[in-house]
C-alpha cells in the first residue's frame, strides 16, 4: 500500500459498511472517521445496533446520532435486522468497519450470534469473504472479552484497528482503538494485511 497516496485516491468510490455499537463515549471519534471517509469519496452505508439507535445518553440523543450519520453518509441508517440482511446477497459493501465495537458485539461475532442489525450486517457482508475491520472499545477487553478478541484475531477476514489501554490505572482491563488509524487499517485490510503493531 502506497501511504503517500491521498485518502481520496485510495477510497474514492469504495463501498463501506459503517456499523456503530453502543460505546457512546467514543461516538465523537467514530463520527470523525465517518466524516473523513465521506470526504475521501467513499459510498458509506450506515448501520446501528439496537442500543446505538435507541439510547439517549450523556453523550447525545439517539435521534441526533442518526441524523448526523445520515447527513454524512447521505443514506438512511439501517436499524433493523431485516434491513441489514440483504447487504451480502446484494453485494452492497466492499469493506465493513464496526466503530465502535463493544465487548457485547465482539462476543456475538466470535460466537456467530446474529441478533442485532450490526451482527447481521457483518454476517451478511462476510458471505462474500470481504474484510471486516473492528475498532474495539470495551472496559473488559483484558478480562471477559479477551477470549473473544483473541478468537476473532485468529479468524479469516477480521482485522483490528490498533488498540491500547486508555486508562491502565483506573480501568486496567479497558482497551480502546486508536480511531486515527482506522483508514490505514482499512487500506491494509483490503490487501489482506493486518496493520501493525496491533498493540499500542
CATH of the domain at 154: 3.40.50.1950
Q: Give a yes or no: residue 30 inside a domain.
A: yes
Distance from C-alpha of 69 to C-alpha of 13, rounded to nearest angstrom? 18
- Of 114, 116, 162, give the one whose Cα is nearest residue 135: 162
pLDDT (0 to 100) of residue 9: 75
Position 1 confidence tier, pLDDT thresholds 50, 70, 90: very low
Mean pLDDT across the stretch 158-168?
A: 97
Q: Give me the number of domains the chain comprises.
A: 1
Domain ranges, residue 123: 13-189
Q: Give a yes or no: residue 40 inside a domain.
A: yes
Mean pLDDT across the stretch 102-111?
A: 98
Distance from C-alpha of 67 to C-alpha of 71, rounded to nearest angstrom? 6
Which residue bears the cell 436499524?
Answer: 79
**Percent of the chain scoring above 70 in pLDDT:** 96
Q: Give a yes or no: residue 39 inside a domain.
A: yes
C-alpha distance from residue 150 to each of 17, 34, 56, 106 (Å): 23, 26, 31, 10
pTM of the model: 0.95
Q: Give a yes or no: residue 180 inside a domain.
A: yes
Distance from C-alpha of 153 to C-alpha of 163, rounded to nearest angstrom? 13
The residues near 178 (Cβ < 8 Å, ≥ 6 apart) are 161, 162, 163, 164, 200
Q: Are residues 132 and 157 in contact, defined by beta-carbon separation less than 8 angstroms?
A: yes
Amino acid at each position: 500500500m502506497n501511504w503517500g497516496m491521498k485518502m481520496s485516491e485510495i477510497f474514492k468510490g469504495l463501498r463501506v459498511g459503517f456499523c456503530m455499537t453502543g460505546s457512546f463515549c467514543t461516538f465523537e471519534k467514530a463520527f470523525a472517521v465517518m466524516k473523513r471517509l465521506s470526504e475521501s469519496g467513499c459510498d458509506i452505508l450506515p448501520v446501528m445496533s439496537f442500543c446505538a439507535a435507541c439510547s439517549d445518553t450523556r453523550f447525545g440523543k439517539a435521534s441526533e446520532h442518526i441524523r448526523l450519520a445520515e447527513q454524512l453518509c447521505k443514506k438512511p441508517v439501517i436499524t433493523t435486522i431485516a434491513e441489514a440482511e440483504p447487504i451480502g446477497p446484494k453485494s452492497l459493501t466492499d469493506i465493513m468497519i464496526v466503530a465502535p465495537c463493544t465487548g457485547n458485539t465482539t462476543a456475538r461475532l466470535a460466537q456467530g450470534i446474529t441478533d442485532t442489525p450490526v451482527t447481521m450486517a457483518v454476517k451478511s457482508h462476510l458471505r462474500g469473504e470481504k474484510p471486516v475491520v473492528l475498532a474495539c472499545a470495551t472496559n473488559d477487553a483484558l478480562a471477559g472479552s479477551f477470549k473473544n478478541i483473541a478468537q476473532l484475531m485468529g479468524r479469516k477476514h477480521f482485522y483490528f484497528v490498533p488498540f491500547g489501554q486508555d486508562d491502565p490505572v483506573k480501568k486496567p482491563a479497558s482497551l480502546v482503538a486508536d480511531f486515527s488509524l482506522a483508514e490505514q487499517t482499512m487500506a491494509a485490510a483490503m490487501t489482506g494485511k493486518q496493520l501493525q503493531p496491533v498493540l499500542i
